[in-house]
Amino acid sequence: MPDNLIIYPFNLLGESGVTVTASADAAYPKGRLYDRSIDFYWQYTATGAFVLSLDQGASFSKYVDFLAICNHNFSGATIDWQYSSNGSSWTNAVAQWTQSGNAQVVKTLTTPLRYRYWRISVGSVASPRCAELYMSLGYPFRIVWSDEPAGTDVDNVQWVNTIGGLERSIKNGDSKRKRSYPLFHHETAESTLIKFREATSFLDSYTKPFFIKDHEDVYWLARFTEVPEERYSTPGTTFRDVSLLEMI
């Protein structure tokens, strides 16, 4: 199993100063590409190739090593994930691929990249739609396996009693993953304690969900169930307990 929990705390498309360009229907605006909800869609009623792009602005500063495309209908189309320093000459961040199916897409980079312009270029699709186009940077944090991380599925069911006293279930949606991880922070020049605080600063006082890569190498949109608590062991050594619930 991996040693780290990786948190992807921001969506570059939604960061301050970033301009997103995407043709869109009035009822399905481009803002839905970066509202951190996988239930509301961006959509454009047309058939053909299209581009979804962003410009960080002249003072661009954020690195990227992660892409997720959620709840889309891009199956069968070729997709290029690309970056540029001038907005006219583009380089593939990963090799072009032909999308098979409409399941969540995840692409990662071995080395984070910092460029002003990013985009995905998609081949012909009829009325393309997508619930979230998420570009971010991974923050890895070491899991303390000796403190026994835990996981379960949380049901999304309401139980009610009928007039006759029988119990019936109302399914509100699919079950959700829940994971609890004890993390280790060693306070060095590149302190993971500082990095964790930096990562959570993108969450707007813990109101925004974010992507993670869990201990089984699975990527999913999550939120903290409570503000993660710091536990101070010895000077320079801090542990932190995090509890994560899947957003569906």
What local confidence, expressed as pLDDT, does residue 122 receive?
Answer: 98
The predicted model gives 149-172 an average pLDDT of: 91
What local confidence, expressed as pLDDT, does residue 193 receive?
Answer: 87
pLDDT digits (tens, 9 = 90+) for 49-91: 999 999 999 988 899 999 999 999 999 999 999 999 999 999 9
pLDDT digits (tens, 9 = 90+) for 112-124: 999 999 999 999 9
Range of the domain at 111: 7-138
What local confidence, expressed as pLDDT, does residue 247 receive?
Answer: 95
Question: Are the beta carbons of 196 and 139 closer than 8 angstroms?
Answer: yes
| Alpha-carbon dihedral 10, 38, 128, 52, rounded to 10 degrees | -10
Of 138, 172, 187, which closes a domain? Answer: 138
pLDDT bin (cut points 50, 70, 90) of residue 187 is low
| Number of independent structural domains in the chain | 2
The verdict on residue 1 lying in a domain is no
Residues 113 and 152 occupy one common structural domain: no
Residues 131 and 163 occupy one common structural domain: no
Residues 123 and 146 occupy one common structural domain: no
Residues 126 and 13 occupy one common structural domain: yes
pLDDT bin (cut points 50, 70, 90) of residue 188 is low
The verdict on residue 163 lying in a domain is yes
What local confidence, expressed as pLDDT, does residue 190 receive?
Answer: 60
Residues 39 and 13 occupy one common structural domain: yes
Task: Please provide the DSSP assignment of 100-135 as one string.
Answer: -SSSPEEEEEEEEE--SEEEEEEEEEES-EESEEEE
| Alpha-carbon dihedral 166, 167, 171, 175, rounded to 10 degrees | -160
pLDDT digits (tens, 9 = 90+) for 198-239: 999 999 999 999 999 999 999 999 999 999 999 888 877 889
Residues 30 and 85 occupy one common structural domain: yes
Of 88, 118, 138, which closes a domain? Answer: 138
The verdict on residue 112 lying in a domain is yes
Residues 125 and 144 occupy one common structural domain: no
Residues 119 and 60 occupy one common structural domain: yes
Residues 29 and 114 occupy one common structural domain: yes
172 or 212, greater pLDDT: 212
Query: What CATH number should be reported for the domain holding residue 200?
Result: 2.40.30
Query: What CATH number should be reported for the domain holding residue 68?
Result: 2.60.120.260
One-letter amino acid for residue 142 of the chain: R
Provide φ and ψ at 87, rounded to 5°.
80, 5
Does pLDDT of 137 surpass 80?
A: yes
Residues 181 and 74 occupy one common structural domain: no
In angstroms, the Cα distances linking 120 to 14, 48, 78 are 16, 14, 10
Q: Cβ atoms within 10 A of the Cβ of 105, count? A: 22
What local confidence, expressed as pLDDT, does residue 97 receive?
Answer: 98
The verdict on residue 201 lying in a domain is yes
What local confidence, expressed as pLDDT, does residue 1 receive?
Answer: 58
The predicted model gives 135-164 an average pLDDT of: 93
Of 107, 138, 169, which closes a domain? Answer: 138
Neighbouring-strand partners of residue 25: none
Question: Are the beta carbons of 44 and 21 closer than 8 angstroms?
Answer: no
Residues 98 and 154 occupy one common structural domain: no
Which residues have CB under 8 Å from 190's CB, separation 6+? none
Task: Look at the block and give the residue holding tokens 């409570």.
Answer: 226
Residues 129 and 99 occupy one common structural domain: yes
The verdict on residue 73 lying in a domain is yes
Q: Cβ atoms within 10 A of the Cβ of 162, count? A: 8
